[in-house]
A and B are shown apart, each in its own frame.
Chain A
Amino acid sequence: MTQVLLAIDTSAGTAVSVLVDGVVASESYDANSMQHAEQIGVQIQQGLEAAKKTASDVTAVAVGVGPGPFTGLRVGIAAAKMFAEGVSAPIYGVGSLDAIAFANSLDQPTLVLTDARRSEVFFGLYQGKTAAGVPTTLLGPGVKKQAELEVQLQAAGHNYLLANTQVSAANLGLLGLAQLAEGTANTSVVANYLRAPDAVPAKGKKVSG
Chain B
Amino acid sequence: MSHLIRLATEADLAAIMELEKASFGNDSWSRPTMRAELMAPHTYYLVANQDEKILGYAGLSKVASSSSADIQTIAVSELHRRAGIGRQLMQALIEQAAKLTATEIYLEVREDKPAPQKLYEQLGFEKIDRREKYYQPDGVAAIVMRLTIPTTVKSEPVVLGIETSCDETGIGIVRGTTLLANVISSSMDQHARFGGVVPEIAARAHLEALEATLQKALETAGISIKEIDAVAVTNGPGLAGALMVGVGAAKALAVAIDKPIYAVNHLVAHVAVDILERGKLETPTVALLVSGGHTSLLLVRDLLNDVELLGETIDDAAGEAFDKIARVLGLSYPGGPEIDKAAQYGDAKAIRFPRGLTLPKDQEKHRYNFSFSGLKTAVARHVELAESKGEQVSIADVAASFREAVVDVLVTKAINACQDNNVPRLILGGGVVANSRLREVAKARCQEAGIELRIPALSLCTDNGAMIASLGAQKIMAGEAPSQLDFGVYSTLPV
Which A residues are within 8 Å of any B CB, using their own CB? 35-42, 44-45, 48, 54-56, 58, 70-71, 74-88, 190-191, 193, 197-202, 204, 206-208
Q: How far is the CB of A4 from chain B (nearest CB, A)?
A: 12
Query: Can you list 26 A-B pairs with a CB-CB distance of less than 8 A?
Result: A37-B488, A38-B488, A44-B255, A55-B255, A70-B200, A70-B204, A71-B240, A74-B204, A78-B206, A78-B244, A81-B207, A82-B253, A85-B215, A85-B225, A88-B225, A191-B204, A197-B201, A197-B204, A199-B200, A201-B195, A202-B193, A202-B194, A204-B328, A206-B380, A207-B384, A208-B381
For the complex of A and B, the 3 pairs showing the least CB-CB separation, nearest first, are A86-B256, A41-B251, A202-B195
The CA of A75 and the CA of B195, in the complex, are separated in Å by 27
Chain A residues, CB < 8 A from B211: 81-82, 85
A195: nearest chain-B partner, CB-CB: B200
Whether B201 contacts A42 by the Cβ 8 Å rule is: no
Chain B residues, CB < 8 A from A79: 248-249, 251-252
The CA of A54 and the CA of B206, in the complex, are separated in Å by 28
B203 at the interface (CB under 8 A from A): yes
The CA of A112 and the CA of B381, in the complex, are separated in Å by 54
The CA of A201 and the CA of B332, in the complex, are separated in Å by 13
The CA of A81 and the CA of B207, in the complex, are separated in Å by 9
Q: B97-131, CB under 8 A of A: which get 1 and which 0?
A: 00000000000000000000000000000000000
B471 at the interface (CB under 8 A from A): no
Whether A86 contacts B225 by the Cβ 8 Å rule is: yes
Across the interface, A86 reaches (CB within 8 A) one of B193, B215, B257, B381, namely B257
A45-B485, A85-B225 are known; give 13 further A-B pairs, CB within 8 A: A35-B488, A37-B247, A39-B486, A42-B486, A71-B244, A74-B207, A79-B249, A86-B252, A86-B256, A87-B257, A190-B208, A206-B380, A207-B377
Chain B residues, CB < 8 A from A37: 243-244, 247-248, 251, 488-489
B442 at the interface (CB under 8 A from A): no
Q: Which of B169-217 contact A (CB under 8 A)?
A: 193-196, 198, 200-201, 203-204, 206-208, 210-211, 214-215
B345 at the interface (CB under 8 A from A): no
The CA of A199 and the CA of B191, in the complex, are separated in Å by 10
B261 at the interface (CB under 8 A from A): yes
Whether A86 contacts B207 by the Cβ 8 Å rule is: no
Known A-B contacts A82-B256, A191-B207, A202-B327; A208 and B384 likewise in contact (beta carbons under 8 Å): yes
Chain A residues, CB < 8 A from B206: 74, 78
The CA of A177 and the CA of B488, in the complex, are separated in Å by 32
Whether B201 contacts A76 by the Cβ 8 Å rule is: no
The CA of A150 and the CA of B327, in the complex, are separated in Å by 45
A91: nearest chain-B partner, CB-CB: B211
Chain A residues, CB < 8 A from B255: 41, 44-45, 48, 55, 83, 86
The CA of A71 and the CA of B244, in the complex, are separated in Å by 8
Known A-B contacts A41-B486, A79-B251, A81-B210; A207 and B381 likewise in contact (beta carbons under 8 Å): yes
B380: nearest chain-A partner, CB-CB: A207
Which B residues are within 8 Å of any A CB, using their own CB? 193-196, 198, 200-201, 203-204, 206-208, 210-211, 214-215, 225, 240-241, 243-258, 261, 327-328, 377, 380-381, 384-385, 388, 485-489
The CA of A80 and the CA of B249, in the complex, are separated in Å by 8
The CA of A202 and the CA of B489, in the complex, are separated in Å by 29
Q: How far is the CB of B431 from chain A (nearest CB, A)?
A: 19
Q: How far is the CB of A188 from chain B (nearest CB, A)?
A: 11
Whether B241 contacts A78 by the Cβ 8 Å rule is: no
B484: nearest chain-A partner, CB-CB: A42
Whether A82 contacts B250 by the Cβ 8 Å rule is: yes
Known A-B contacts A40-B252, A74-B207, A197-B204; A85 and B258 likewise in contact (beta carbons under 8 Å): no
Whether B385 contacts A82 by the Cβ 8 Å rule is: no
Whether A75 contacts B485 by the Cβ 8 Å rule is: no
Chain B residues, CB < 8 A from A39: 486
Whether B489 contacts A42 by the Cβ 8 Å rule is: no
Whether A80 contacts B252 by the Cβ 8 Å rule is: yes
Whether A78 contacts B210 by the Cβ 8 Å rule is: yes
Chain B residues, CB < 8 A from A77: 207
Chain A residues, CB < 8 A from B245: 74-75, 78
The CA of A58 and the CA of B247, in the complex, are separated in Å by 21
Known A-B contacts A41-B486, A208-B380; A75 and B253 likewise in contact (beta carbons under 8 Å): no
Whether B253 contacts A200 by the Cβ 8 Å rule is: no
Whether A40 contacts B327 by the Cβ 8 Å rule is: no
Whether B248 contacts A74 by the Cβ 8 Å rule is: yes
The CA of A78 and the CA of B195, in the complex, are separated in Å by 27
Across the interface, B327 reaches (CB within 8 A) one of A81, A191, A204, namely A204
The CA of A38 and the CA of B235, in the complex, are separated in Å by 11
The CA of A42 and the CA of B488, in the complex, are separated in Å by 12
Whether B258 contacts A82 by the Cβ 8 Å rule is: no
Whether B214 contacts A85 by the Cβ 8 Å rule is: yes
The CA of A88 and the CA of B215, in the complex, are separated in Å by 11
The CA of A45 and the CA of B196, in the complex, are separated in Å by 38
Please indicate which of the listed interface residues B210, B225, B253, B489 has the most CB atoms of chain A within 10 Å of its own CB: B253
Q: How far is the CB of A46 from chain B (nearest CB, A)?
A: 9
Whether B258 contacts A78 by the Cβ 8 Å rule is: no
Q: How far is the CB of B243 from chain A (nearest CB, A)?
A: 8
Known A-B contacts A37-B244, A199-B200; A83 and B487 likewise in contact (beta carbons under 8 Å): no
Chain A residues, CB < 8 A from B256: 55, 58, 82-87
Across the interface, A40 reaches (CB within 8 A) one of B246, B251, B377, namely B251
Chain A residues, CB < 8 A from B204: 70, 74, 191, 193, 197
Whether B200 contacts A198 by the Cβ 8 Å rule is: yes
Q: How far is the CB of A165 from chain B (nearest CB, A)?
A: 23
Chain A residues, CB < 8 A from B253: 82-83, 85-86
Whether B200 contacts A82 by the Cβ 8 Å rule is: no
The CA of A70 and the CA of B248, in the complex, are separated in Å by 14
Please indicate which of the listed interface residues B204, B241, B245, B252 has the most CB atoms of chain A within 10 Å of its own CB: B252
The CA of A8 and the CA of B173, in the complex, are separated in Å by 27
The CA of A89 and the CA of B388, in the complex, are separated in Å by 64
Whether A199 contacts B252 by the Cβ 8 Å rule is: no
The CA of A76 and the CA of B249, in the complex, are separated in Å by 8
Chain B residues, CB < 8 A from A71: 203, 240-241, 244
